[in-house]
Amino acid sequence: MKQRKNRQTWWWVVLFICAFCISGQAQDNEKTTRSKKVDIVPLPVLYSSPETNFGFGALASISFRLGDNAETTRKSNIQPYILYTVLGQLDATARYTIFTNEEKYIIDGRFSYLFFPEFYYGVGNELPETNEELVSYRRVRIENRVLRKVTKKLFAGVQYRYMEMFQVEPEEGGLLATSRVPGFDGSRISGIGAAVVYDSRDNILNAYKGAYLELSNYNYLTGLGSEFDFSTITVDLRKYFKLFPNREHILAIQGFGNFLTGTAPYKELSEFGGSDIMRGYYQGRYRENNYLAAQIEYRLPLFQNIPEGREKLPWYRRFGLTAFAGLGDVVNEVNQFNSNTLKFSYGAGLRFKLDRKNNINIRVDYGFGSDGSSGLYLEIGEAF
């Protein structure tokens, strides 16, 4: 789920945690949908926010292995998600990462339809909160990447991305309508690119060890149906350390960069903040062509490790904690990055082991930004 501002009502968090506990007990009693090949763990979603009022829906984690050997083929995962609000707004998304037998291919991406409002603050890295205005729009988003194994942990391939934003409804006389930035009245982009990925993580949703290194790009061209011509390059570096041999204390580190050249619609600029990196800032609180950020997170269980083979244990043994901190900024030109003006974030989170078999957590994080902003996040799987 996207983060909401600190005006949220906290009692929804209690409902989330109750849902975790119910789901955990159901799993212990083998009431979740499970077979030899497929594990399905559903979760109800209830929340409230200033942008949307009351909302309800469901999300799920579907895990399965396409190969017979756990040493050569990791678990694939699909996460469908649907949310509907009392104001008639809708967010329907399906994210997936598929490992074919012996990981000869990795296929990942997402499909989504969105009719949801969001706050807009303008373009730049020094934007006052008084800029805030509510913008509603509809969006169709399609992303897909196909990677082929080059060596044991190295993959390379192609990717495609399509996004159409339409029926944009900014505030009358507001910043978006008057500034008329590219894409202020809607946009359509279509782009192809290449990706090289080194991935030695033991689990894609909750890694205990290994590394993830990605270098990828997109070229958006009018010849592909795009209304804008621009290019992006993304660098994503992650490393995971298990600090003690017999304890699940994990230190995770990430460095991230996104660099854009050309003219892009405002929704395709690098958006600072969100549920994955620089938690504590509203996603899009700042936006510009180029983005650099880094974060570190410490993850630990509340109780000692659960012994192997003991599946039926009290639900409270499934809880864990995290603490995280981040540093980053967005700028128009790469040479404008300045260590003296970097923004920072920090926070803590609660974890609940939703699926012990596949080592999948539900996470609830609360983050703070250096500009006084804050955010609450609910997701399946770790932030990175």
* Amino acid making up residue 220: Y
CA distance 3 to 323: 17
Pick from 341, 377, 382: nearest CA to 361: 382
Where in the chain are the domains?
11-380
* CATH of region 11-380, choose from 1.10.600.10, 3.40.50.150, 3.30.980.20, 2.40.160.50: 2.40.160.50
**pLDDT by residue, tens only, the chain of 384 residues:** 444 444 443 334 444 544 454 444 444 444 444 445 899 988 888 776 666 778 888 888 999 999 888 889 999 999 999 999 888 889 999 999 999 999 999 999 999 999 988 999 999 999 999 999 999 999 999 999 999 999 989 999 999 999 999 999 999 889 999 999 999 999 999 999 999 999 999 999 999 999 999 999 999 999 999 999 999 999 999 999 999 988 889 999 999 999 999 999 999 999 999 999 999 999 999 999 999 999 999 999 988 765 555 556 677 788 999 999 999 999 999 999 999 899 999 999 999 988 888 888 889 999 999 999 998 888 888 999
Q: Where are the beta strands (DSSP E) in the chain?
A: 33-34, 38-49, 53-64, 76-85, 90-99, 105-120, 133-149, 154-169, 187-199, 210-220, 230-244, 247-262, 270-272, 286-288, 290-301, 319-331, 343-355, 360-369, 374-380
Q: Where are the beta strands (DSSP E) in 182-289?
A: 187-199, 210-220, 230-244, 247-262, 270-272, 286-288
Q: CA end-to-end span of the chain, whole Å?
A: 15
CB atoms within 10 A of CB 250: 22
326, two tokens: 């981040």
Pick from 383, 297, 298, 286: nearest CA to 341: 286
Pick from 100, 94, 91: nearest CA to 65: 100
214, two tokens: 């990605």
